[in-house]
């Protein structure tokens, strides 16, 4: 299949919205307009399906369909149209020019796309195209080969060579075709937990692969678990570590930017030492995985090299047992003072506990999460003695134990637990204000700022900085407490004011600018999406009433 669309984001999305391999389809090329698409079709005989947008610069989709009748083309593919709702007159013309079907852009999901594509493939089979059958067989073979390769990579990364050297050497011999070069490095990319990587796996994987190919970096790639991608990269032509790090920094910055832009996914990245040959992969992988986990303490969006592991944190001075003894003692004191009516006492003890926790930066994040789970269990016992259930004071509708396990950072976890303790203390001592506290302080401040300044140029990064929390925490917590995401809330505020201004007869372009949209056309699209009417139609409906 070939995709012709002038919007790069649409082309990229089409790669990931559908499991094309399951349909025995390979996207072999793409173009940004009809001129570029036609030039490619004149040089290729392997394009069976053509997914083409109607509205494009230079040469639109209708003009490209007319050009498909050129007898000089090696092959005439079956066209499928991508259209907007307003393109129906063009869609009718496209059918007259041989288009098989169309897909409305706002309905670009599996439910709408798969039936159209399946019908086109069946038509190709009906026409008796032998090459299609051969390609489908080849696709299935490649799928099996990739599956075998992934299984081998999983075994190699999990294996401890010290356990059975002989077996490890046998596996290495079976690793024909795998990367085995000098200057190899393991990179672990962990996607933020709030992202549904099950649905977005194909999109994420293709984004990473695209950047690797753009930069011509030799690599193997495997998905280890939900949200974790391992890159095994080689730089055989680089002679200095600084040059290799420059390549890696460019690679990961580009991956990070695209994932944040396309799916709002923050990442943390661990980068191992250099080594020669795939026999070192198990060690390099474990090193990179441990480094990636440091985002729990330092925050998302950072790259962690080996120096991150050797930075002094003060933990080892006291020893592992002493650290956890201190933490346990602090936890018990905290829960004791929760029984005292003076809230300043528990706040002081919690601040002391937070300081101790910052000395645990060399510990696995799951061990810290387990510590907070213990806090919740013990707090539950204190509440139960007063006839109160933990669920009655939880800050959100989600199970607090599950919340703790899904927290991305120590900062986020500490803020959540502090909010829970605050509500628990109010409940224990009969403070009627507890039920009135609907929003946590950071979300209340963010919401208040939006309510006052929604007409101005505002972004989530600015708000998170103002209220003193990380951007990922603000994003997730805003949804949990307010019931919608940051952008949706901001948009609702603007559209509600726009409705009032439309009633007053103010020009639509003036309304757009007044509520924070510099582009009136963009405002009109947003207004229609939120209300079902264009601004003009909405105003007319008011007149009719």
Label residue 152 by pLDDT band (50, 70, 90): confident
What phi and psi, each to the nearest 5 degrees, are found at residue 320? -60, -45
Q: What is the pLDDT averaged over residues 349-363?
A: 87
Residue 405 has pLDDT above 80, yes or no: yes
Q: Which residue has the higher pLDDT, 124 or 149?
A: 124
Residue 502 has pLDDT above 70, yes or no: yes
Q: What is the CATH number of domain 2-128?
A: 3.40.50.2300
Asked if the 182-310 domain carries CATH number 3.30.70.270, the reply is: yes
**438 and 397 in contact (C-beta within 8 Å)?**
no
Q: What is the pLDDT of residues 36-58, one digit of tens each?
A: 999 999 988 889 999 999 888 88
* Cβ atoms within 10 Å of 81's Cβ, excluding its own: 26
Q: Which residue has the higher pLDDT, 251 or 308?
A: 251
Q: What is the CATH number of domain 488-544?
A: 1.10.10.60
Label residue 433 by pLDDT band (50, 70, 90): very low
CA distance 420 to 437: 11
Give first-to-last CA distance, the chain, whole Å.
Answer: 51
Q: Is the dihedral of CA 33, 38, 43, 48 positive or negative?
A: positive
Across the chain, mean pLDDT equals 82
Residue 87 has pLDDT above 70, yes or no: no
Tokens encoding 302:
């950072």
Tokens encoding 545:
């009433």
What phi and psi, each to the nearest 5 degrees, are found at residue 312? -70, 130
Q: Distance of CA 86 to CAs 32, 89, 341, Å?
A: 21, 8, 65
């Amino acid at each position: 299949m070939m995709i012709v669309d002038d919007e790069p984001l649409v082309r990229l999305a089409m790669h990931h919205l559908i499991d094309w391999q399951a349909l025995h389809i390979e996207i072999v090329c793409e173009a940004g307009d009809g001129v570029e698409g036609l030039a490619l079709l004149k040089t290729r005989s392997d394009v069976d399906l053509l997914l083409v947008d109607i509205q494009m610069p230079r040469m639109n989709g209708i003009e490209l369909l007319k050009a498909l009748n050129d007898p000089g083309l090696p092959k005439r593919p079956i066209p499928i149209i991508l259209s907007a709702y307003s393109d129906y007159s063009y869609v009718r013309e496209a059918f007259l020019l041989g288009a098989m079907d169309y897909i409305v852009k706002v309905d670009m999901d599996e439910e709408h796309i798969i039936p159209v594509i399946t019908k086109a493939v069946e038509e190709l089979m009906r026409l008796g195209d032998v090459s299609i059958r051969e390609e489908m067989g080849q696709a299935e073979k490649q799928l099996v080969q990739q599956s075998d390769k992934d299984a081998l990579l999983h075994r190699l990364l999990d294996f401890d060579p010290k356990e059975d050297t002989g077996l490890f050497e046998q596996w290495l011999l079976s690793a024909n075709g795998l990367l085995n070069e000098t200057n190899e490095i393991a990179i672990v990319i962990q996607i933020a937990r709030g992202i549904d990587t099950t649905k977005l796996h194909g999109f994420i994987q293709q984004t990473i692969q695209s950047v690797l190919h753009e930069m011509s970096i030799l690599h193997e790639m495997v998905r280890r678990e939900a949200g974790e991608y391992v890159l095994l990269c080689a730089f055989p032509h680089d002679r200095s570590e600084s040059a290799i790090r420059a390549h890696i920094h460019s690679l990961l910055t580009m991956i990070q930017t695209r994932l944040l832009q396309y799916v709002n996914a923050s990442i943390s990245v661990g980068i191992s030492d250099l080594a020669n040959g795939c026999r070192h992969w198990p060690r390099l992988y474990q090193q990179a995985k441990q480094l990636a986990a440091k985002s729990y303490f330092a925050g998302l969006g950072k790259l962690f090299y080996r120096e991150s592991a050797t930075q002094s944190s003060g933990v080892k001075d006291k020893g592992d047992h002493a650290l956890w003894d201190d933490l346990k003692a602090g936890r018990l004191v905290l829960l004791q003072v929760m029984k005292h009516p003076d809230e300043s006492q528990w706040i002081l003890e919690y601040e002391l506990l937070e300081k101790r926790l910052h000395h645990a930066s060399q510990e696995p994040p799951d061990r810290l999460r387990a510590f907070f789970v213990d806090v919740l269990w013990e707090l539950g016992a204190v509440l139960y003695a007063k006839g109160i259930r933990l669920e009655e004071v939880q800050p959100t509708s989600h199970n607090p134990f599950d919340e703790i396990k899904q927290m991305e950072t120590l900062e986020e976890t500490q803020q959540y637990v502090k909010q829970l303790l605050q509500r628990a203390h109010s409940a224990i001592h009969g403070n009627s204000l507890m039920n009135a506290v609907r929003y946590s302080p950071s979300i209340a401040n963010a919401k208040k700022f939006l309510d006052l300044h929604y007409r101005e140029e505002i972004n989530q990064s600015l708000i998170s900085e103002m209220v003193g929390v990380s951007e990922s925490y603000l994003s997730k917590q805003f949804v949990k407490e307010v019931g919608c995401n940051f952008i949706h809330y901001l948009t609702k505020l603007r559209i509600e004011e726009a409705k009032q201004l439309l009633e007053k007869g103010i020009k639509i372009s003036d309304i757009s600018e007044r509520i924070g949209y510099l582009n009136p056309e963009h405002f009109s699209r947003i207004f229609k999406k939120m209300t079902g009417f264009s601004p003009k139609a909405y105003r007319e409906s008011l007149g009719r009433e």
